[in-house]
Structure 1
Amino acid sequence: MKIMNTGGTFNKRYDPISGRLEIPFDNSAVESIVSSFSYDVEVAGMIYRDSLDMEQNDRDQLAAILQADDEDVFVVVHGTDTMDLTAKTLAEHLHDRVIVLVGAMVPYSIDQTEASLNLGMALGFAATRPAPGVYICMSGIIAPHEQIRKNRAEGRFEIV
């Protein structure tokens, strides 16, 4: 199993110089969470941006990287705003893999609870080796990507 970190709110940290929340070019939030595990989990990163800034070529690049990797189970840390678009792209290209997209509505640097819970759930689910497919793990639920959506009005994900 491998974690691919692409950025998103999950990873944002406050930059006191710019006065903004920014996505760093590192995996420290994810690495902090998995450091307490009793087993090693490989963490790799790419893109490092807000999902609102992700473009189709970023999604295609992610799909190509996952496809070229020998691993067959991935957890992808991703921003929540366009998680569904990335899930759709990955489902179109990767039919024989287990991919679980996960994110957070609140940055890990501000409140560690949600990000830690979501990532832990995603990793636990992925470890069970479910049927190949693309899943989303958010708001305490895990479902095939086409069955879960972000409810922007309520600020959470739900089964549709």
Structure 2
Amino acid sequence: MTIRLLVAGGTIDKQYDENTGNLIFSRTHIPALLAQGRCRVPLTVQSVFLKDSLEMTDADRALLCQHATQSVETRLIITHGTDTMVETARCLANCQLSKTIVLLGSMIPYRFKHSDSLFNLGCAIAAVQCLPTGVFITMNGQVFPWDKVVKNRQQGIFEWTA
């Protein structure tokens, strides 16, 4: 079983620009994360775009749905910014695909010390192999159905909805 990993940006792929002092995108760090985690699961990495999720549009979400629909793989992982991850998960769920889709992100960029990106990616890889058909979000060791999760911005965590 090969898993398709769609790269959509988010904090996980940001890095510090020494010239401007800003966090920017230059390229995805997913191959480096997979190598660091010694991943032995067959994965196909496809970069769709690198965007901050606050800048994502409905057209961007439709593009992710299109890629998920066209993918021959039935198990997909999508890297994504955490701010609008639930919104994109809703869009993917509305596509009603007979696939297992797991979204993940990180609160701290991969290139920063103490990043949660490697752990979150590892959780997503494990989860997508075990979960039933549907759309899920995994963050910090927890797996949530897309419609049972909310980002707690004050604490910087994802948690179950009531």
The TM-score normalised by the length of structure 2 is: 0.92
Alpha-carbon distance in 1 for matches of 2:74, 2:113: 31
Alpha-carbon distance in 2 for matches of 1:66, 1:113: 27
Please state how far the C-alpha of 1:94 moved relative to its aligned partner: 3.4
Is it true that 1:89 corresponds to 2:91 in the alignment?
A: yes
Unaligned runs of 5+ in 2: none
Note if contact 1:90-1:134 (Cα within 8 Å) is conserved in structure 2: yes
Identity of aligned residues (%): 32
Please state how far the C-alpha of 1:9 moved relative to its aligned partner: 0.5
Please state how far the C-alpha of 1:68 moved relative to its aligned partner: 1.1
Name the SS for the 2:72 alignment partner: coil
Unaligned runs of 5+ in 1: none
Note if contact 2:7-2:46 (Cα within 8 Å) is conserved in structure 1: yes
Instruction: State how many pairs are aligned.
Output: 157
Residue by residue, what CA displacement relative to the aligned partner does 1:79-106 show, whole Å, maximum 9, x if unpaired?
0000011000000013301000000011
The TM-score normalised by the length of structure 1 is: 0.93
Alpha-carbon distance in 2 for matches of 1:48, 1:151: 24
Q: Counterpart of 1:140?
A: 141
Q: Show the 5 A alignment for 1:1-160.
A: 1-24=3-26, 26-27=27-28, 29-35=29-35, 36-111=38-113, 113-128=115-130, 130-160=131-161
Residue by residue, what CA displacement relative to the aligned partner does 1:1-33 show, whole Å, maximum 9, x if unpaired?
111110000110011122211022x22x21112
| CA root-mean-square deviation | 1.2
4+ residue runs of structure 1 moved beyond 4 angstroms? none
